[in-house]
Each structure stands twice: as structure tokens, then as C-alpha cells.
Amino acid sequence: MHRFDQPLHQGRLIKRYKRFLADIELSSGELITAHCANTGPMTGCAEPGSAVLLTKSDNPARKLQYSLELIKVGRTWVGINTARPNAIVEDAIVSGAVKELKGYEGLRREVKYGRGGKSRIDILLEDEKHGRCWVEVKNTTLLTEPGMARFPDAVTTRGQKHLQELTDMAKAGDRAVIFFLVNRADAARMGPADEIDPVYGKLLRKALKAGVEALAYQVKNTKRGAQITGRLPVVLD
């Protein structure tokens, strides 16, 4: 389990705005503005009045002391802090919870790669026997219909570039994985959001044909932390 590094504080979302800001009423009644580490629209995950959980930084230099971590959608806590998924996946790989990525001796984060070396891969696994495995992690929070998680929730030229770079790695003979971290416990399957970003969907299918692997794993969020609970099927139809 990936545990939060600070205690969680309860609150209620008043509004989210300017992408990185969220006004919150804490359970004490205090009104605060929290940092929202998510560049997407958070479709379906930003309804005013929703219960939220936040961490509070001890760093006095921070302008915003609180960070929005989880928001409750129905009965499910959804992880919207995009600064956490890489660590969640790393913990799961190290613990052996992701069986498809077992057997690698080395793990590095934020390694330069891609065209001109201008990109950074989220996780690079290395092993003398198994070679290299490039893993790009995508936090997935969008639910378009009951049980159906989709990515992305907005057009993502950056995500399109990542797929092209993973395709290059696969064609060069390395292992390449696009890892969808479905950060909510109410999904049963995962697929591309073709209606939102058709280019991403096309590039994903092209990448898979070129040898890129798609993994989708589900997370159950609680006040204790984020626990990967199992693999979900990736549906392309």
C-alpha cells in the first residue's frame, strides 16, 4: 500500500478553478484554498459539495498549505493528485503486486528518453536477463458509464507524444508499457476515450500493434492510503 506522508484532513469542495486551485470548507468550518495537482478537467470528479480529503504541508514556504488528494464520487474515493500515481505504481512493482513487471533488478524514475532525449519516462525497469522496460503511467479518473473507465479526460498532445515514444522503444527492441492507473474502485474495465481525443485512441491502437503493452490496474483509496487491488481488462472496441 502507498501511504500518505501526512495525516488526511476532511472537507467539502466549494469550487475548483484555474485548474490548480480549489476552495474547500474544512470539517472545522474553516475556509481554505488548496492546491489541486491536476491539469485535466476532472470530469465527474469536481462537483461542488463533494467530500474531499487533503494533506497539509509542514513547509512554511509553501503559499498553499493544503493539497487536494481524494474526492468522493458516489461511494468511491477517487485519487486526483497526479503527483502520486508514479509512486503508487513503483510501490506496487517493488512489492510484486504487478506480476507482469516482476523480475527486474533495477528501477529508476524520470529517466531521459525519446526523440532527442527531451522526454522523461516515469519508470525504467532494467535487468541483465530481461533487458529494459519503459513504463509510462497515466492517472485515470474518468468514468463515462457504469464500470467503464476511460483515458484521457481531455485532448492530450503530451499523451500522444508519449505513445509515439513508447512505440519507438518497442520497435527498437525494448519492452514498452503504457500503464493506466485507474484511481477509483468502481471501474470494471478500461478503454481509450475516443470521443474526447480520437487521435490518442488511434495512436494507442497503433502502439499496441507495434508491440507496446497496455496494463490497467485498479486502486482502492482509503484514509490509510492507496492500494492496488488488481488488473482490469483494456477494451479497445
| Cell, residue 216 | 490497467
Does residue 2 contact residue 87 with C-beta atoms inside 8 Å? yes
- Final residue of a domain: which of 28, 53, 79? 79
Distance CA 91, CA 87 (A): 6
Full domain range(s) for residue 106: 85-232
Give 167-184 pLDDT, tens digit per residue. Answer: 999 999 999 999 999 999
Is 89 found in the same domain as 72?
Answer: no
Q: Give the model's pLDDT for residue 115.
A: 77
Q: Which pTM does this prediction carry?
A: 0.96
- The gap between the terminal CA atoms of the chain, to the nearest Å, is 32
| Domain final residue pick, 24, 45, 79 | 79
- 8 and 117 within one domain: no
- One domain, residues 146 and 174: yes
The pLDDT tens digits of the residues spanning 51-80 come to: 999 999 999 999 999 999 999 999 999 999
Number of folded domains in the chain? 2
* Sign of the CA dihedral running 221, 34, 139, 142: positive
Q: What is the pLDDT of residue 120?
A: 95
Q: In whole angstroms, give the CA distance from residue 108 to residue 2.
A: 18
* Rounded Cα distance, 54 and 4, in Å: 10
> Which of 32, 52, 79 is the last residue before a domain boundary?
79
pLDDT per residue as tens digits for the range 101-127: 999 999 999 999 987 788 999 999 999
Could you tell me if 25 and 121 lie in one domain? no
